[in-house]
Homo-oligomer: A and B are copies of this chain.
Amino acid sequence: MEQQFNLRFSKNRQYIIEILESEKIPLCVDFIFEKLRLKNKSVSLSTVYRILEKLVINNTVVKTIFGDDLKAKFELNRQGHKHYLICTECNDMVPIHNCPIGEIEKSLQENTGFYIKGHKLEVYGHCAKCHG
């Protein structure tokens, strides 16, 4: 499950992991690219994509598409923090800590014959600020 190919040390990969660590929510490639530039650690866009791709295969990073956006977001594969409450006005994302799906998976598995490996849950609404 770890390291499906050989990785060499790379400063750029370290920088990107640091950015993903410092932010608590999923980030899009643009944001990471810009953040690197602002830190004077510019990395080419294709390299950002390539690094993220490997980290995803590696299981270090999780790639998700939220809503019907057409761009991917990336976050560290931490424990918990897998679901988000998303404000459709300001796009603020708040982690949902309790995951209520585990029990449901069990009954689904029995009813459908599927061997269930995971799930994705997003909840949408207006945050307190935007809900005037």
Contacts and interface: CB of A to CB of B under 8 A. Distances in A.
Given A85-B114, A124-B119, A70 B70 contact: yes
Interface stretch (A10-18, A28-36, A37-45, A99-107): A99-107
Interface size on A, as a range, is 35 or more
Contact of A114 (B68, B87, B104, B115): B87
Given A64-B68, A119-B124, 10 more contacts: A67-B120, A100-B101, A115-B131, A116-B125, A117-B124, A117-B125, A118-B123, A118-B125, A120-B122, A121-B122
Interface of A: 63-65, 67-70, 72, 85, 87-88, 94, 96, 98, 100-101, 104-105, 108-109, 112-128, 131
